[in-house]
Amino acid sequence: MVDTDPTTHSSGSPTAAVRSVSRALALLDAVTEAVQQDNYNGITLADAARNVGLPVTTAARLLSTLEAENAVRRDHSGRWYPGVRLLALSSRLKSAPLITVAGPELENLAERTNESAYLAIRSGDEAVYIRHVDSAQPIRHTAWVGRSWPIHGTAIGAALLGSIPLGGVATTRDTIEPGVTAVAAPIWDKDTRGVVAALSCAGPTFRIDEDRLAQIAAAVSESAQRLSQFLDL
């Protein structure tokens, strides 16, 4: 298809700039709507272009620009998903109450378990941290807001997939990260009857024996249930 989009041949006029922004926002809408409607399966370039009425080449150029800004991301099959930057922005709005309330719970978890504590949401086939509190230990697991992990094969991923009931936990030892043990629990929203986020604790395997693992699991479960109850209010 020949690209006849005037914005790609302009000299930077205000009208062309506004048109480009408008089309980029329309593509963001298409990507996020597809994720919501298609069980996190993302959207193809062709479908995104068709949904917003753009030539495929124009949609590809705009999506690549958005990808460079981490607003969207592409998986190995070429399907598009919301990116870390978009998730961070949306989480500040949609999940702002949860993120705020999760702060004390994360601090409590880090203090009770003496390990690092995380709050994560799902983005396609990945779990993305949106808030964390580091352990006070000199040797500790550490990550950052925006870091992502595979949804499969991780404790936080199992919690986000909805396979763990309220009150239950998922645990992993030395899987994605050798030498790291993690415990995670889902945060459920009764209105949507789905998992909206997950809490986890992670630390070095060498100091987390079975007794400590049970203690950490209890603490993570309790915090996740409290946050789930908050969403019911």
Give the chain's domains with CATH numbers: 6-81 (1.10.10.10), 89-232 (3.30.450.40)
Residue 192 is predicted with a pLDDT of 66
pLDDT of 55 reads: 92
**Mean pLDDT in each 10-residue stretch from start to end of the chain (233 residues)?**
39 68 88 66 88 92 89 86 71 60 88 94 85 90 82 93 89 92 91 84 95 96 89 60
Q: Please tell me the pTM assigned to this model.
A: 0.61
pLDDT of residue 36: 60
pLDDT for residue 4: 38
Amino acid 17: pLDDT: 77
pLDDT at 2: 32
Which pLDDT score, from 0 to 100, does residue 15 have?
A: 75
pLDDT at 56: 93
- Of 108, 97, 77, 111, the C-alpha closest to 231 is 97
